[in-house]
Structure 1
Amino acid sequence: MSKTFINDNFLLENKYAEELYHNYAKHQPIIDYHNHLPPQEILDDKRYGNLTKVWINGDHYKWRAMRTLGINEKYITGDASDKDKFMQWAKTVPYTMRNPLYHWTHLELTRYFGVTDLLNEKSAEKIYEATSEKLSRSNYSCRNLLRKVNAEVVCTTEDPIDTLEHHQKLAKSDFEVKVSTAFRPDKAILIANETYNDYINSLGKAANINIETYQNLKDALKSRIDYFHQNGCRLCDHGLNQISFVAFTESEVDKIFEKKIKGDQLTKEDVLKFETAILLFLAEKYHELGWVQQFHLGALRNNNHRMHSILGPDTGWDSIGDYQQAEKLSAFLNALDSKDKLTKTIIYNLNPSDNEVMATMIGNFNDGSVKGKVQFGSGWWFLDQKDGMTKQLNALSNMGLISCFIGMLTDSRSFLSFPRHEYFRRLLCNLLGDEIKRGELPKEEIEWIGKMVSDISYFNAKEYFNF
């Protein structure tokens, strides 16, 4: 059994990288400004009882790996026992070498549970029993898992129809970690969806508005944005294939919405005009309230129709899309900027071939009004790994100012995912430490480089979001 794999200098290849990490990054608090964690579990201070419940259930990264190895769905999303599911995951882990899951798995076992053995079929029983015993204790409850990683802010993601009741109660509690939310109105934007009209009915009930016209829809969304704002929300998030931008008139959009409500067929042009109009409307409202807007672009979702029909969305059937991004994104941002209504903006891409596109796009709209106003977001989803994060850092460094970067987030549904911040910080420090060693950065400026590391790890996000 290895007890040295996840050691103090994991991923740090020289003394400069070690100094940067241990002196400037390691002890910074975590601001996790985008994730999909369930706020009720934080409110209830849930205890999980075993690793399957907190670590495997809901984690489609692990599920994809298990399916690739030929493990039956019974042990993934099926009715097998928690222990049997864990044993099958343990069987999978040695086969994940060179996939980020191998690093994340052992980093998380070490940081949360002090487990330094490598996870495999032989060690699985011992690790399952030891971690289950710990997870049954009060000091391994949901809130204590956040305390263990020095979390300062956790920002979940909610639909406009959400009551935010859990956030309201958390705001009144004595829990020292700030739990905020991000407004995610995509279901109101994606008018081509078959369930769109059902969703509009739900939105109308939440806003107490009978939505029969496009103006009614805008009024309902405005009402919900105001409600979220009153409850401390200062961010939105959009998960879109690409930004739509075509010319439209308000009367055209009125008629398009009317057609949809009546159940008439929409043309592709109708859909694009509607999506353009509603997204611009929302973005102007975000600017009015001083929110940060986030755009996650480029996923090709629900590719396996057979399995999607059985298991539903977010179960591991998505991939990278190859959409054209630059022209429409530029036009969208420019339309807002031309009216001085472009708020702070973070753009994440899922296709690595778009890295340089995004790194240069943000420079078009950083107008000197705010430090790092428009951000190229960290490596996301399939790019949330060593190679993907390093390429994002290099593209941003080469074409922008890495010193203004707001750093990492988990985008996760698991309360054991927060060591990804440590993973990112180690990669950042190793990248800079290697350049110091090679003479590409001055070693006599290591304190300044260290300050940059601290800023990227924590202080830039703290200033940017002003939580």
Structure 2
Amino acid sequence: MYPTEVTRKRFLCEDFLLESEFAKILYHKYAKDLPIIDYHNHLSPEEIAHNKKYRSISEVWLAGDHYKWRAMRTLGIDERYITGNASDQEKFQKWAETVPYTLRNPLFHWTHLELKRYFHIDTLLTGANAEEVYFQTTELLQENSFRARGLLQKMNVEVVCTTDDPSDSLEYHKLARQQASSPKMFPAFRPDKAFAAENPFQYIAYIGKLSDSVGFDINHYGDLLRALQNRIDFFAENGCTIADHGLEQLFVFTVGKYSPELLFQKLMFGQSLQPEEINYFKFHTLLELCKMYHAKGWVQQFHLGALRNTNKRMLATLGPDTGFDSIGDYKQAVPLAGFLNLLDSTDQLSKTILYNLNPADNEVLATMVGNFNDGSIKGKIQFGSGWWFLDQKDGMEKQINALSNMGLLSCFVGMLTDSRSFLSFPRHEYFRRVLCNLIGKDVEKGELPADDKWLGKIVSDISYYNAKAYFNF
């Protein structure tokens, strides 16, 4: 006979994802209340500096969120309700209708965590209650405590590091610093366009923009390097200590195989480079940049493995970063080792965080970091947290397990949002629960001693203190 009642936990209860008593102790006593250091995201510095008020939950929650967009498209929802000209309420209605169908996708957990943590809404979002939730949240968003900085403060965010192009004036970072308000906001240097040699006409336009920002003409490759050093100095003056890069893979060549000056001149004359020439230009420029970072004592981050803009029809219609990217299967190990070794050979390898998008590369990166940890700095080379398609429960667990098996989990600098949304910060809570649950399971199985002070300190370090020390915040 089947039981008439099934024993089950209440969805999203205070012990959500915590499967043992020891996991509950670790999370509630040592992780839950720690501040958040979000050292990589795509938040708008302007919205933070101006403490933006949002007209509706659609503006703050759906706009720019390609995770949600992909789910809606999969369900057959017309683009008008995703990136089109439908009203905020119509877009929210279609998202609410989508939510029940996202079960077992991290969107289901994130959606309800975010509604609960920011708006104290504890009901499941559906098409039936969409109107009620829309007006309830939109009304709250008109209060001062629900403006951009207020939303960050609600999640106990201490530091946010935005992602900024070298040509950026950083005017909003300056404004925010003058206000001396919380959280602290710092820029992160993202120079991808400076070596994006695939399209010469786009490159020429970017070089013009960079020239304007530095106040001198960039006519030669040496001028480009001088301009990048100029901007690194400027970013450093404005509190920057991090550089970030989004790459399919790193490349390594014998220095001098091609002349970077000749390649630069070809680009500036509108001539397309051959694939190997493009890769060399990326390699050489990035190598020079990494030496500049080391001289500043910066942390460098490499996000590896995204296959971007796969749907050319939709790229032409909507542009990049609209939800048409996927995991790539690039070869990472040999060129990554070669590139890091070139920097290490001259003692110019900065603190480095490596992120992979292909889970098949977990063990590659987990072992790679050990090759270049030289005892000079605790956790100098880091295997970064589950990123993009991998920042969900299964992806986090696999990253933590690979790091634990092949490195030192205790030195890990923990989670980040990598998000464009001011409502995404419960992802830190999600990560902390996953972390505590894994360690709690080990205790339950007798694989770790039940010492909550010792294990609690490690959990606290990973959740907050390691990042605070690593980035010198």
TM-score, normalising length: structure 2: 0.97
User: Partners of 2:404 and 2:111 in 1: how far apart?
Assistant: 29
Which of 94, 98, 112 aligns to 2:100? It is 94
Which of 41, 49, 53 aligns to 1:47? It is 53
Partner in structure 1 of residue 299 of structure 2: 292
2:159 aligned counterpart, secondary structure: strand
User: Partners of 2:180 and 2:215 in 1: how far apart?
Assistant: 32
Partner in structure 1 of residue 248 of structure 2: 241
1:324 aligned counterpart, secondary structure: coil
Q: In the alignment, is residue 83 of structure 1 matched against residue 89 of structure 2?
A: yes
Which of 411, 435, 438 aligns to 1:404? It is 411
Contact 1:4 1:116 in 2 (8 A): no
Residue deviations 1:268-318 (CA, integer Å, cap 9, x gap): 221122111101100000000000000000000000000010000000000
Partner in structure 2 of residue 375 of structure 1: 382
Which of 203, 206, 229 aligns to 1:222? It is 229
Q: CA RMSD, aligned part only?
A: 1.2
Q: 307-316 or 265-274, which moves further after superposition?
A: 265-274
Contact 1:117 1:123 in 2 (8 A): no
Residues 143-222 of structure 1: pairs in structure 2 closer than 5 A: 143-194=149-200, 195-222=202-229
User: Partners of 1:314 and 1:265 in 2: how far apart?
Assistant: 24
Shift of 1:3: 11
Residue deviations 1:371-429 (CA, integer Å, cap 9, x gap): 00000000000001000010000000000000000000000000000000000000000
Shift of 1:244: 1.3
Q: Where in structure 2 are there 5+ consecutive unaligned residues?
A: 1-7
Q: Given the superposition, is the C-alpha separation of residues 317 and 94 from structure 1 closer, same or farther in structure 2, using an over 3 Å criterion? A: same
Shift of 1:251: 6.9
User: Partners of 2:283 and 2:164 in 1: how far apart?
Assistant: 22
Residue deviations 1:176-198 (CA, integer Å, cap 9, x gap): 21100100000011212341111
Partner in structure 2 of residue 278 of structure 1: 285
Shift of 1:121: 1.2
Identity of aligned residues (%): 60
The residue type equivalent to 1:390 in the other structure is E
User: Partners of 1:290 and 1:184 in 2: how far apart?
Assistant: 16
User: Partners of 1:239 and 1:188 in 2: how far apart?
Assistant: 12
Partner in structure 1 of residue 147 of structure 2: 141
Contact 1:241 1:300 in 2 (8 A): yes
1:120 aligned counterpart, secondary structure: coil
Which of 110, 114, 132 aligns to 2:116? It is 110
1:127 aligned counterpart, secondary structure: helix
User: Partners of 1:369 and 1:101 in 2: how far apart?
Assistant: 40
Shift of 1:265: 3.0
Shift of 1:4: 4.3
User: Partners of 1:10 and 1:408 in 2: how far apart?
Assistant: 18
Shift of 1:135: 0.7
User: Partners of 1:247 and 1:131 in 2: how far apart?
Assistant: 57
Q: 120-129 or 265-274, which moves further after superposition?
A: 265-274
Contact 2:258 2:277 in 1 (8 A): no
The residue type equivalent to 2:467 in the other structure is A
User: Partners of 1:98 and 1:14 in 2: how far apart?
Assistant: 21
1:203 aligned counterpart, secondary structure: helix
Partner in structure 1 of residue 3 of structure 2: none
User: Partners of 1:29 and 1:389 in 2: how far apart?
Assistant: 20
Partner in structure 2 of residue 361 of structure 1: 368
Shift of 1:43: 1.0
User: Partners of 2:283 and 2:42 in 1: how far apart?
Assistant: 26
Q: In the alignment, is residue 314 of structure 1 matched against residue 321 of structure 2?
A: yes
The residue type equivalent to 2:472 in the other structure is N
Residue deviations 1:197-232 (CA, integer Å, cap 9, x gap): 111111111111211111011011111111101111
Shift of 1:125: 1.5
Contact 1:348 1:376 in 2 (8 A): yes
Contact 1:293 1:346 in 2 (8 A): yes
Partner in structure 1 of residue 337 of structure 2: 330
The residue type equivalent to 2:189 in the other structure is F
Partner in structure 2 of residue 421 of structure 1: 428
Partner in structure 1 of residue 264 of structure 2: 257
Residue deviations 1:35-58 (CA, integer Å, cap 9, x gap): 000011111111113210100011
User: Partners of 1:10 and 1:193 in 2: how far apart?
Assistant: 48
Q: Where in structure 1 are there 5+ consecutive unaligned residues?
A: none
Contact 1:28 1:458 in 2 (8 A): yes
Shift of 1:266: 1.5
